[in-house]
Structure 1
Amino acid sequence: MRLTDVQPKAGSKHRRRRVGRGIAAGQGASCGFGMRGQKSRSGRSTRPGFEGGQMPLYRRVPKLKHFPLVNQKTFTIVNVSALADLEAQSEVTLASLMAVGIITTNDGPLKVLGDGEVLTPLSVKAAAFTRSAREKIEAAGGSCEVVG
């Protein structure tokens, strides 16, 4: 087999349509686009998703990231690593953490996250715990209580 023997499959190649070259060419005058209207004009017809001025579907339906949650919960978050310096058997609440200075602003109810390690047993009272935070606090001999 030689390079000159290589040819595309029969019927796979088409002639380019030459429009606007007179009526004898088959696509003269309006070039197969009809008489008048938006889709007969030169340039791109309409962008993908355009619905004639009606609010398009991709803007009507809220998707993934770009819409606000209506009743979004905000928490004051603290990691388990920040609780490691506290005294053993001490009660940990949002107020006690603000008094010690671990938390400086009250952004809502307290949520404990599981980044880091804790070795002292603590009695933690918070609105929410992550699974890893709960496991680490209880493994150290402490207790987790969900408040309000």
Structure 2
Amino acid sequence: MNLSSLKPASGSVKTKKRLGRGHGSGMGGTSTRGHKGAQSRSGYSQKSHFEGGQMPLQRRVPKFGFKNINRVEYKALNLDSIQALVEKTNATVIDIEVLYNNGLVSKTDLVKILSRGELKVAVELKAHAFSKAAAEAIEKAGGKAVTL
């Protein structure tokens, strides 16, 4: 095998339609564009979302609410998942890097610790936010909740 003998798999490449090359080609005359009207002319471009004059979808569907551009999205992690992580890794300090290395969060996530489950060991937890109940539970177990 060499570079000059390479070719695509059979049936994977179709020949392009040759429009406007006479009646014998089957694509002559109007070149598959139908008769007259803007769509048959060169330079025609339809507006995106145009539905032929019928009321377009984006105007038919009702709108409500708003998107707060200042919203801060947190990745929620519960104490039971932290407990499972501690049992697996025996770590005493858990920060974003430890959570990332164990696949619990992605690099860009902001992390908030929530209070579902129970923490049985003293651990220093570093996260972007804590719920009140989670912070109390961490300190009750003898650990520390450090806000980044």
Structure 2 alignment gaps of length 5 or more: 1-62
| Paired residues, number | 83
State the partner residue of 2:131: 130
Matches within 5 A, 1:80-95: 80-85=79-84, 86-87=86-87, 90-95=92-97
Residue 105 of structure 1, CA deviation = 2.9
Residue 104 of structure 1, CA deviation = 4.4
State the partner residue of 1:32: none
Distance 2:105 2:95 in 1: 13
Q: Which has the larger radius of gyration?
A: 1
Matches within 5 A, 1:1-148: 66-85=65-84, 86-87=86-87, 90-101=92-103, 103-106=104-107, 108-147=109-148
Distance 1:104 1:96 in 2: 9
Structure 2 residue matching 1:117: 3-state secondary structure:
coil
Structure 2 residue matching 1:115: 3-state secondary structure:
coil
**What is the RMSD of the two structures over their aligned residues, measured on CA atoms?**
2.1
| Matched-pair contact (CA < 8 Å) for 2:112–2:127 | yes
Structure 1 residues 138, 89: CA separation in 2 closer, same or farther (over 3 Å shift)?
farther
| Matched-pair contact (CA < 8 Å) for 2:127–2:146 | yes
Percent identity among equivalent residues?
A: 25
Structure 1 alignment gaps of length 5 or more: 1-58, 60-64
Distance 1:76 1:123 in 2: 19
Letter aligned with residue 84 of structure 1? Q
